[in-house]
């Protein structure tokens, strides 16, 4: 029974973090989840310990996400965004990691996850772009696009179509940073 309550706290806090970031209120979390606040401190010594548990859960979700990327993405558009859509809460949690880089463990997890995603997506990205730039420049370009996408992602308008439109808009505006050395292939 107590393990079930602990898991409920973690799941509720994961959702709250995805919506509000790490500064979510434990009181509001207790009210929303209908869990007695006192039971939180039975399972976790502090909010920091709860946050550590959330990062472990997020890592598990990342592993599932990467598995889905590898299995289901045959082309970036629309496959990537269909996978992203199926991991909405994890994507919004991940966005909060970028929005709160003051905690090293947040930004480190955000960046390492994106680097692993890049290795999975690289063949698809290379098919989308013709490039003469070095791999290092291409990786930096990918990080620029990804960071801009997460920052501009609107959690209230989360659909495959809106995510594709956002990615296309960012690519159109960011491509100029490379003086035409990276260009999307014409369809």
**Which run of H or E residues covers position 43?**
helix 37-43
Give the model confidence (pLDDT) of 115-137 as tens digits: 999 999 988 887 777 766 777 77
- Indicate if the pLDDT at residue 31 is higher than 50: yes
| Confidence (pLDDT) at 141 | 82
Q: Report the 10 Å Cβ neighbour count for 23.
A: 9
Mean model confidence pLDDT for the chain? 89
Closest Cα partner for 65 from 80, 82, 85, 87?
87
Dihedral (C-alpha) 130, 135, 137, 138: value to the nearest 10 degrees? 50
Q: For 153-169, how does the pLDDT look when each residue is reduced to its tens digit (9 = 90+)?
A: 999 999 999 999 999 88
- Structural domains in the chain? 2-184 (1.10.357.10)
């Amino acid at each position: 029974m107590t393990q079930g309550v602990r898991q409920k706290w973690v799941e509720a806090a994961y959702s709250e973090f995805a919506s509000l970031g790490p500064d979510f209120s434990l009181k509001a979390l207790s009210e929303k989840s209908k869990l007695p606040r006192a039971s939180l401190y039975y399972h976790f010594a502090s909010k920091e310990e709860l946050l550590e548990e959330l990062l472990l859960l997020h890592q598990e979700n990342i592993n599932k996400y990467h598995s889905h990327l590898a299995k289901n993405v045959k082309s970036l558009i629309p496959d990537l965004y269909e996978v992203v859509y199926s991991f909405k809460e994890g994507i919004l949690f991940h966005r909060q990691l970028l929005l709160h880089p003051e905690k090293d463990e947040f930004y480190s997890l955000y960046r390492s996850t994106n680097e692993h995603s890049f290795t999975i997506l690289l063949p698809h990205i290379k098919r989308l772009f013709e490039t003469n730039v070095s791999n290092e420049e291409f990786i930096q370009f990918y990080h620029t696009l990804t960071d801009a996408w997460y920052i501009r992602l609107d959690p209230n308008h989360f659909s495959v179509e809106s995510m594709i439109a956002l990615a296309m808009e960012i690519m159109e505006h960011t491509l100029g940073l490379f003086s035409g050395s990276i260009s999307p292939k014409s369809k």
